[in-house]
A and B are shown apart, each in its own frame.
Chain A
Amino acid sequence: GEDVEQSLFLSVREGDSSVINCTYTDSSSTYLYWYKQEPGAGLQLLTYIFSNMDMKQDQRLTVLLNKKDKHLSLRIADTQTGDSAIYFCAVVSGGSYIPTFGRGTSLIVHP
């Protein structure tokens, strides 16, 4: 089955850019998602990209997809303290509708 990997922690200074990385194993992946989990809350969809796209930009968020390397990244420009949260990568592979989640990356933003 699909395996999704993320690093567990990322620490950045306020105002810098953050880049959260994710790798996956199934080349038939169709939909790739980024979810955000704030403390004490459930996950909320942040953005997504289809497998036929290389890049998607949405205000401060940029998603890059490298299908050859099976690598997905989320860039947050001008990172704010309110961006401190856990970010989950999730991948839906061809033949299944159930997403596989990574373990989540804790983003810590220092003033």
Chain B
Amino acid sequence: NAGVTQTPKFQVLKTGQSMTLQCAQDMNHNSMYWYRQDPGMGLRLIYYSASEGTTDKGEVPNGYNVSRLNKREFSLRLESAAPSQTSVYFCASQEGGEQFFGPGTRLTVL
């Protein structure tokens, strides 16, 4: 049981480049989330998906898109990366009120 997995672990992009962050969970959870974590800001919700086939904006969705490919996978796409998107990105799935987090992707945009 791997829990929540994320790839890649680290990524460096140039301004304007695009990339997709991958997330998968093997716990059969319906809800999945993408957060970004910045120093002193805590966790900020980017997008979430209550179930397969649905996605909703969170607190800071601008500059991002998501896809809930199936129940297991929830990807986050940056179409044109900006330095303000330098952050650590966490994916999570949820059972009841408890969230299960992946190990994070550390993204730097130059």
Cα–Cα distance between A92 and B31 once the two chains are bound (Å): 15
Do A99 and B104 form a contact, CB below 8 Å, given A43-B90, A88-B43, A104-B42? no
A interface residue numbers (CB < 8 A to B): 8, 30-31, 33, 35, 40-45, 48, 88, 90, 92, 97-99, 101-104
Q: Are B97 and A102 in contact (CB under 8 A)?
A: no
Residues of B within 8 A of A104 (CB): 42-43
Do A33 and B42 form a contact, CB below 8 Å, given A41-B104, A42-B103? no
6 A-B pairs besides A43-B101, A48-B98, A92-B97 with CB distance below 8 A are A42-B104, A43-B90, A43-B92, A88-B42, A97-B94, A103-B40
Cα–Cα distance between A98 and B101 once the two chains are bound (Å): 14
Residues of A within 8 A of B31 (CB): 97
Do A31 and B97 form a contact, CB below 8 Å, given A41-B104, A42-B103? yes
Residues of A within 8 A of B103 (CB): 40-42
Convert B40-53 into 0s and 1s, putting 1 for each residue whose CB lies closer than 8 angstroms to a CB of A: 11110100100000
Interface size class of B (residues with CB under 8 A): 20 to 34
Q: In the complex, what's the smallest C-beta–C-beta distance from B75 to chain A, in angstroms?
A: 17
Residues of B within 8 A of A33 (CB): 97-98
Cα–Cα distance between A30 and B96 once the two chains are bound (Å): 12
Q: Are B98 and A102 in contact (CB under 8 A)?
A: no
Residues of B within 8 A of A40 (CB): 103-104
Residues of A within 8 A of B102 (CB): 42
Q: Are B97 and A97 in contact (CB under 8 A)?
A: yes
19 contacts between A and B (CB under 8 A): A8-B40, A31-B97, A33-B97, A33-B98, A41-B104, A42-B90, A42-B101, A42-B102, A42-B103, A43-B90, A43-B92, A44-B101, A45-B98, A45-B99, A98-B33, A99-B97, A103-B40, A104-B42, A104-B43
